[in-house]
Structure 1
Amino acid sequence: MKNVFDKNDLTEIIDRIQQLNPKSKKLWGTMNVAQMLAHCNVTYEMIYTDKHPRPNSFMRFILALVVKPMVVSEKPYKKNIKTAPQFIIAGKRDFEIEKKRLIDYLIQTQELGETHFHLKESHSFGPLTKTEWSNLCYKHLDHHLSQFGV
């Protein structure tokens, strides 16, 4: 699996994002390309902002027990899986703004590096290792970039 903390891997990820355009067609799912980019940005909003309320301790326990193993493993996501409510993007989004935000978040993540993220508390799952953080970030992006054929 690619590593979001590795500069070469990150360059490859950004190159894939750069291949998208406002008319990119989805191969599955319901989001258009701008909504998909906004959807991917939610992960980083949870890392870098307080925009999304944290789940209560009981819900975090359940998420860590049930969802975390699926999210941080190297096993790819299935197509058309359900997403958490805060990741549902409705309405029109500006493609260029969402693309720039995503690339900026990725660069920030790579520059902070794996040491910064190792055992950092996640929004929903508690502390994650650097590998779990990288898997979480890369796998989600890879899933959605593949959804749009890049």
Structure 2
Amino acid sequence: MKNIFLPEVSNEIIERINHIKPDSQPLWGKMNAAQMMAHCCVTYEMAYENKHKAPNVFMKFILKTFIKDSVVGPKPYKKNSQTAPAFLIKDERDFNTEKKRLIAYIKETQESGAKFFDGKESLSFGKLSEAEWNVMFYKHLDHHLGQFGV
């Protein structure tokens, strides 16, 4: 798994994002390019902002027990896999706005560095190691950039 905290990896991801255009079509799935970028921003919103409601104790137990390994583990996501409700983007979004937001989050994450995330509490999964945060960030971006053929 590539390390999203390294400048060269973050720059590579940003370069891939820059190859996506507002009218780029996905190879699978229902989201358009702007919705996909908004969807990818949710991971960062949960890491940096107090914008999303934390799951209740029971749901957090379910997420940690049954979902966490698929999100922070190395196994790639399956195409058309189900996502959490907070990640569903059904309304239309402005492509340039979402693209700028996503790139800004990627840059902030790289500049904050791995140590900032080591032991940081995840809204859904509890405390994660820097390696788990890396996998979560990188794998999700790589999956959706691949969805758009970049």
TM-score range, shorter chain: over 0.9
Who is 1:47 aligned against? 47
Q: Deviations over 1:4-45 (max 9, x none)?
A: 101111111110001111011110000000000000001011
Who is 2:25 aligned against? 25
Who is 2:94 aligned against? 94
What is the deviation of 1:56? 1.1
Output the TM-score relative to the length of structure 2. Answer: 0.98
- Percent identity over paired residues: 58
Q: Give the superposed CA RMSD.
A: 0.6
Distance 1:125 1:29 in 2: 26
Query: AA paired with 2:49?
Result: T
Q: Deviations over 1:120-143 (max 9, x none)?
A: 000100000000000000000000
Output the TM-score relative to the length of structure 1. Answer: 0.98
What is the deviation of 1:91? 1.5
Q: Which runs of 4+ in 1 moved over 3 A?
A: none
Unaligned segments of structure 2, at least 5 residues: none
Distance 1:48 1:66 in 2: 24
Query: AA paired with 1:36?
Result: M
Who is 2:125 aligned against? 125
Distance 1:54 1:124 in 2: 7
Who is 1:140 aligned against? 140
Q: How many aligned positions are there?
A: 150
Distance 2:104 2:128 in 1: 22
Who is 1:62 aligned against? 62
Q: Deviations over 1:34-61 (max 9, x none)?
A: 0000000010111111111000122111
Unaligned segments of structure 1, at least 5 residues: none
Query: AA paired with 2:134?
Result: S
Query: AA paired with 1:28?
Result: W
Which has the higher mean CA deviation after the structures are superposed, 129-138 or 57-66? 57-66
Q: Deviations over 1:59-80 (max 9, x none)?
A: 1111011100000011100000
Who is 1:81 aligned against? 81
In the alignment, does 2:106 pair up with 1:106?
Answer: yes
Residue aligned with 2:113, SS: helix
